[in-house]
Structures are given as C-alpha cells and as structure tokens.
Amino acid sequence: MEYPAQLDLEKKKLTLSDTSIDPDITKRWFKRLYPIIKEQKRPFLITAFCGIAGLAIQVSVPMVMRKAIDNALTDGSGQIASYVWGLLAMAVCAFALRFTYRFLLFKTAYRIETQLRSLIFKHLTKLSFSFFDRTASGEVISRANSDIRSIQLLLAFGPLAILSLFSFLLAFIFMLSIHIPLTLVTISCMPFVYILAQKMRDRVFPLSWVTQGRMADLAMVVDENVNGSRIVKSFAVEKDQIKLLAQMAQRLRWSSTALIDARARFNPLIESLPRLGMAGILMYGGWLSINDKIGIGALIAFSSYVIMISVPFRMLGFVLLQAQRAAASSLRIFEILDEKPAVLDKPSAKRIVHPAGNISFRNVSFTYPNDENPIVLDGLNLDIEAGETVALVGRTGCGKSTVARLLPRFYDVTGGSVLLDGTDTRDLLLEDLRTHINVIPDEPFLFSDSIRNNIAFGKPDAKESEILDAAKAAQADSFISDLENGYEEVVGERGYTLSGGQRQRIVVARTLLSNPKILVLDDSTSSVDVETESLIHASFKKLLQNRTTLVIAHRLSTISLADRVVLLEAGKVKVEGTHEYLLENSPEYESILSSGLMQEAK
C-alpha cells in the first residue's frame, strides 16, 4: 500500500531536462555525450573533491606507518600511541569521504542513465512510421536497455579508474621522496603495461560492436516469439523457433567468447606486470636495508605503495573493456538519436481550433519509403464534405489503408496534397491534426493496464460517466461488467486475455471518448460477430452525425454506414456514388461486393 505514495513522491522529484547529445556526428562518442554529462557537473565536482581528499588520506597512510616504525620501533622508544590514534582518525575520515564519493558517483551515473533512456524514448515518439517499418522492435529495445547500461557502467567505474591513476601519481611522488633508484626499479615494467593496453583496445572494440549487435538480434527473436506466440503455436513451429534462438545464442556465444578470450590474453599480463615490482623491492630494497641505506619503515611503505600502484592496473583491463563496449553502444544509440523524423511540423505550422471537417485529396501520389514496390496511390482525387461518411472499397493493395494513413500524416504524400478545410495538412500542427483525426485500426491494440485506463487513454482526465457512456456506445459495457473486476480488470499484453471482438469494442470506446471531429474506421469491426457488429453500427449511426467519417469497408454491413461509396483501383478513384448506384453501374464494384459477401458468409 505504500508503493503508490512512494511512486508519487518519485514523480515529484523526477525532473528531466531537454538537453540532448551533441549533434555533430564528426565528434568522438564521449564528446557527443558531454552535454548530458555536463548537466551533472556539480555532483561530479563534489564527488571529485571527496574522492581526491579520501585518496590523499589513503596514500598518506604508508608514510605515517613509516614514521611509526622508523621513529618509534627502530630506536626502541615504543611511543606509537599518537600514530595509532592518527591512523584511526585517518581511517574514519577516509571512510566518510569514500562513502560520499561512491554514493554520489553511482547516483549521478544512474541519473545520466535515466536521462538517456528518457531521451531515446522521447526521440522515438517523434520518429515517423517509416523508421519503425524498417527497424525491428527487439533492436530498439536492445539499444534502449543493454546499450545504455554499458554507458552507465563506464560512467560509474570510469571515475574510479581515473581516481586510481591519481593514487598512482601520489604514490609515485611519495616513493620518489623516499628513494629514487628503488622507485625506478618498481615502475620499470609500466611501459609494457601501456603497450599491452593499446593492443587490447584494438582487439576488443570490434568484438564489442559485434557482441552488442548480436545481443540485439537475440532480443529481437525473443520479442517476436513472445508477441507472436499464438502464430508460433498455431503453426506448431516451436522447434524451428527454438532452433533459430539457439543459432542466435550460438552466434552471441562465439563473439562473447572471442571477447573474453581477448580479455583473458591481456588482462592477466596487465595485472601481473606491476607485481614484478614487488620482486624488485624485495631484492634491491632488501639489499639496501641490509646495508643500512634504507630503513625498515621505508621498505614497508614501499611495499604498501606497490599494492596501491597495482590497483589501477587491476582495474585497467575492466575499464578498457567497458570503455570499448560503451563506445560501441553509444554509436548504436546515436544511430537512433541521429535519425531525423520524416514527418515534422513546419516553423510556420498553424493551430487547428474548431475544424469543420472538409477533406480533399488533390492529385495524391504515394510510395512507401524504402519500398521497391510500385506506386500505391497514383493521382488520387477525392473530396469528402464535413459531416459526410464515405466508404472506401477496393481489392487488396488498391490503397484503401494508405489513404487512411495519409490523412493524419502518419506518412507524407510523395506528390500532390491532402487538405483539411482547404489547408494543406503539412501546414498544420501535427498534435492538433491527430487530436482531431482519430483512427480505429483493423488490428485492435490494448495496453497491459486496466480496461478503464485503456478506454481513457486519449483522455486521461475523463469522468466516470464519460467512460461508461463510451463503453455503452461501443457495446462493451455488458461484457466488461461481467468480468471479475469490471472496469478495473487488467488485460494481458496487447489485450490478449480478451477476445478479438472485445478488444475491438474497447478500442472503439477509446476513440469515441476522445470525440474526434474526423473519424477513420479501418475495417474496425472485422473481429466482431455479426450481432455485435450490428449493435456497434447502430450506435455509430447516431454518433457519426456531424462528424466526417472515412470507412475502410470490406463488409456490406459496413458499407451501409456510408452516405457515399468510393471504389479505388490502382491507386485512383475508379467510380463513386451511392451503394445502389455503384451496384447498378459498376461491374467491378459488384464483383468486389460479391467476393466480400462470400467472405462474410464464410
């Protein structure tokens, strides 16, 4: 019961800026991300201060130990209490600083992750249908999840690696202050570490790119099989899909194994080379100590510093690998963020306040983007008066659904123009246009939410009475009331816990609640039985009054809703008129109608 209150609190705290990545595609990936990272400058500065202060304390500990051993134990005084209390105080301060550092660092990294997710989703909502036509949903999901996660991991652990490099520099300075030749012996292996790191980077980056891509392929197979589970089962091809998934998993395993192989070849060497310095300390430092050229405390301090300078190299392999994965992931994310919407508002776009609902198609031609098929619409001319209901009839592929998609600018025409009340729809604001034009698709889609929220999707502030009236008008109230939880019943993904006809009626109710001036029915009662369809149509006849309606018709019962019928053929208007007129004067219409009646009878 506490969760909703906590969720409301989080919503109040959540503030996302409009800052995006740098649009300059010639810049390196991190520079393109910098505008988003820059917004977290203050937390990063506090984090850096706490990290460096804690680091300074940590690096000072061996020097205090050196003094304690050399000044208190070696000379036999035994006065070490002050050093012990000093070390305890340093430990407490270091703990507080490092806790603050890590907490703020990871919190900031998650903020940037959240910003990136919101940025991608916001951009996806702006992209045109042409992008989703050519991009698999699994690919998009992978980039919005695992790829962003790779960047977040680098932002969380990258600063830790940088801080460890500072510890290396500070330890190096302290070591020089103790004994220069012994310091040089200790770091003699470091140049080889840099060479190995460069070779590892060159090997890992292409493998990271391939691995991320294959993770997306695997996600796509899973996504399609979950969403299309009924199709898979209806054709009994589960074994084939399992085999396909196994192939994708095998491809991912190969690239992941190659990536781990590259890491396994280089990481042990990168981590082990600094430890050779420990052998040098024991050999050369021991000789110096035996000959009283260096104190025991200094030798112990050197041993502690060797451990400190080995930490950056233990982290180096992981951070380099993560940096390559983040670089590959960021490029995949940029491919989405750099995608330009094909349908945009003009700077001079006009608002739509009270549309009359007059629609005109003027010499419209259209071909789907990235499609090698012939032109779908070729010189279409059609006028629909305000308040008129027009049915589009034609054989499969003649362009009926395309006309419905061009009206709300899901796509822009290739040639000609679509006019609303005499104004080209490209000169109108998209948000207003789609508010006043609503489409009931042939494939009903419901969200995994309550029926109430699905009906109120287009009007979240709708009153209870309005939701009930819309459901009754769509003939959905009776079956909703029979459900265990009524309007609070949560439907499954895509609403598959309901029948096709039930889903269709809820979609109809959702559209009626939004009360658009122009309504497009894209074969919207194809999933309901004849009795239910007649009830919905009876409600439509009253609700369609004073509303411009375009009906994509396949059934005679649907055509009966229309004032006028338009027959499309080869992307053009072949003939138009009343149903009775076309039945008497158009053999093509009679043929299509006969096949439709046969289909309806089946």
pLDDT bin (cut points 50, 70, 90) of residue 2 is very low
Mean pLDDT of 574-602: 73
326 shares its domain with 363: no
**pLDDT over 70 at 399, yes or no:** yes
Specify if 402 maps to a domain: yes
Q: What is the pLDDT of residue 252?
A: 83
| Residue reference for tokens 């969720």 | 7
Neighbouring C-beta atoms of residue 256, cutoff 10 Å? 16
Are 388 and 287 within one domain?
no
Average pLDDT over residues 115-132: 84
For residues 405 and 273, membership in a common domain is answered with no
pLDDT digits (tens, 9 = 90+) for 373-388: 678 888 899 999 998 8
The residues with which 520 forms a beta bridge, in sequence order, are 439, 550
**Beta-ladder partners of 450:** 490
Would you say 319 and 154 are in contact if contact means Cβ atoms under 8 Å apart? yes
Instruction: Looking at the structure, tell me whether residues 319 and 365 fall in a common domain.
Output: no
Name the more confident of 318 and 454.
454
Number of domains comprising the chain: 2
Contact, 141 vs 219, CB < 8 A? Answer: yes
**Considering the domain boundaries, does residue 16 fall inside one?**
no
Provide mean pLDDT across the span 259-265.
Answer: 77
Give the chain's length.
602
Residue 89 falls inside a structural domain: yes
CB neighbour list of residue 104: distance below 8 Å, 6 or more residues apart? 43, 46, 47, 50
Average pLDDT over residues 567-596: 83
Among candidate residues 337, 370, 398, the one where a domain is terminated: 337
Q: How far is the C-alpha of 380 from the C-alpha of 404, rounded, in Å?
A: 13
Measured CA to CA, the distance from residue 189 to residue 176 in angstroms comes to: 16
Whether residues 187 and 297 fall in one domain = yes
Q: Is the pLDDT of residue 231 over 80?
A: no
Asked if 263 and 369 sit in the same domain, the reply is no
- Whether residues 424 and 504 share a domain: the answer is yes
- Token pair listed for 68: 């304690």
Backbone φ, ψ for residue 346 (5° rounding): -75, 155
The three-class DSSP label of residue 22 is: coil
For 407-437, what is each residue's pLDDT tens digit? 999 889 999 999 999 999 999 998 889 888 8
SS (H, E, C) 378-440: EEEEEEECCCCEEEEECCCCCCHHHHHHHCCCCCCCCEEEEEECCEEHHHECHHHHHHHEEEE
Residue 555: per-residue pLDDT: 73
Q: 363 and 324 in one domain?
A: no
Please check whether residue 582 is in contact with residue 567, taking contact to mean a CB–CB distance below 8 angstroms.
yes
Domain hosting 140: range is 28-337
Please determine, for residue 29, whether its predicted confidence score (pLDDT) is greater than 50.
yes
pLDDT at 4: 45
More confident residue, 332 or 303: 332
* Whether residue 209 sits in one domain with residue 124: yes
- Averaged confidence pLDDT in the chain: 79
Any domain includes 23: no
Structural domain includes residue 9: no
Give me the pLDDT at residue 428, please: 92
Q: Is the pLDDT of residue 542 over 70?
A: no
Predicted TM-score (pTM) above 0.95: no
Mark whether 310 and 363 lie in a shared domain: no
> What is each CA distance from 221 to 247, 249, 328, 582, in whole angstroms?
11, 10, 21, 47
Considering the domain boundaries, does residue 351 fall inside one?
Answer: no
Is the pLDDT at 601 greater than 50, yes or no? no
Residue 5 scores a pLDDT above 50: no
The pLDDT value given to residue 602: 33
Residue that terminates a domain, selected from 337, 369, 396: 337
Classified as helix, coil or strand, 125 is helix
Name the range with the highest mean pLDDT among 498-502, 519-523, 573-577.
Answer: 573-577
Q: Is the pLDDT of residue 11 over 50?
A: no
- Label residue 437 exposed, middle or buried (CB < 10 Å: 0-12, 13-18, 19+): buried
Q: How many secondary structure helices (H) and strands (E) does the chain include?
A: 24, 10
CATH number at residue 418: 3.40.50.300
38 and 175 within one domain: yes
**pLDDT mean over 355-383:** 86
Give the domain CATH number at 104: 1.20.1560.10
Last residue of a domain, one of 275, 303, 337: 337
Nearest to 420 by CA among 489, 487, 350, 490: 350
Q: Are 532 and 405 members of one domain?
A: yes
pLDDT the model gives residue 228: 67
In the prediction, which pLDDT does 371 show? 61
Q: Residue 37: which H helix or E strand, with range? A: helix 29-38
Highest mean pLDDT among 142-156, 205-219, 465-479: 465-479
- Region 530-552: mean pLDDT is 72
- pLDDT of 262: 76
Residues 6+ apart with CB under 8 A from 592: 393, 394, 395, 567
pLDDT of amino acid 233: 63
Q: How far are the Cα atoms of 83, 89, 196, 309, 394 from residue 79, in angstroms, in the given order?
A: 8, 18, 47, 30, 101
Closest listed residue to residue 579, CA positions, set 390, 360, 381, 388? 390
Q: What pLDDT does residue 361 have?
A: 93
- Token pair of 585, please? 């004067």
Position 15 pLDDT exceeds 60 = no
Using DSSP's 3-state secondary structure scheme, residue 299 falls into helix
Instruction: State residue 79's pLDDT score.
Output: 67
The reply to whether 20 falls in a domain is no
Contacts for 168-173: CB closer than 8 Å, 24+ residues apart: 168/308, 168/309, 168/311, 168/312, 170/55, 170/56, 170/59, 171/59, 171/305, 171/308, 171/309, 172/309
Q: Is the model's pLDDT at 480 over the cut of 50?
A: yes
Say what the pLDDT of residue 382 is: 92
Segment 502-508 mean pLDDT: 82
The answer to whether residue 539 sits within a structural domain is: yes
Residue 7 is predicted with a pLDDT of 42
Pairwise pLDDT comparison (119 vs 537), residue with the higher score? 119
Residue 423: the pLDDT is 92
> Residue 190 and residue 161: Cα distance in Å, rounded?
16
